[in-house]
Amino acid sequence: MIQDEIIQLVDARNRPCGTAPRRQMRRYRYWHRATYAFVLNASGELCIQKRTMSKEVFPGYFDLASGGVVGAGEAVHVAARRELEEEIGARGVALRHCFDFCYRDATNHVYGSAYLARYDGPLTLQAEEVADAFWVTPQQALELHPSTPDSRMALERLIREGFLVSAMEE
């Protein structure tokens, strides 16, 4: 069960400092790591997910990236690849690490790692977490409401710092 999944905890400086079951991490709002894989197709559109209503955080919101929490002892890039495979069925996709960032609100304390991926294959959605997925331009993605604030923060930075432009030129 997902609530029993063991999560890598970090301190306020993003240094590993222990582990905890997911439910405990959420209850006590522990700092943890998460991945954000922004998936672009050949047309430069982003894959957007509509979260299921059963998600523990931001149910029913639009998620602008594939991703999730990092498991205990799991490397961040491995977690990003795992989440891509689980959520949209994208396997063997090259990931480009763009930056790390900190997201904090009343209930979440996250050190995020943002990645870019190119993918034009079929989408196979994880029914427990993803209600729908579709492709839109980055600007259209920013106009979706409600969207997860952490993925929105990361997408705004990707745009501001030119990562999407450079990804399309590759």
Question: For 113-156, how does the pLDDT look when each residue is reduced to its tens digit (9 = 90+)?
Answer: 999 999 999 999 999 999 999 999 999 999 999 999 999 999 99
Instruction: Tell me the domains of the chain and their CATH numbers.
Output: 2-169 (3.90.79.10)
pLDDT at 3 > cutoff 70: no
Write down the mean pLDDT value for the chain: 95
Note the pLDDT of residue 102.
97
pTM of this structure: 0.95
Closest by Cα among 87, 27, 31, 81 to 57: 27
Name the phi and psi angles at 124, rounded to 5.
-115, 105
pLDDT at 80 > cutoff 80: yes
Place of tokens 């304390």: 109
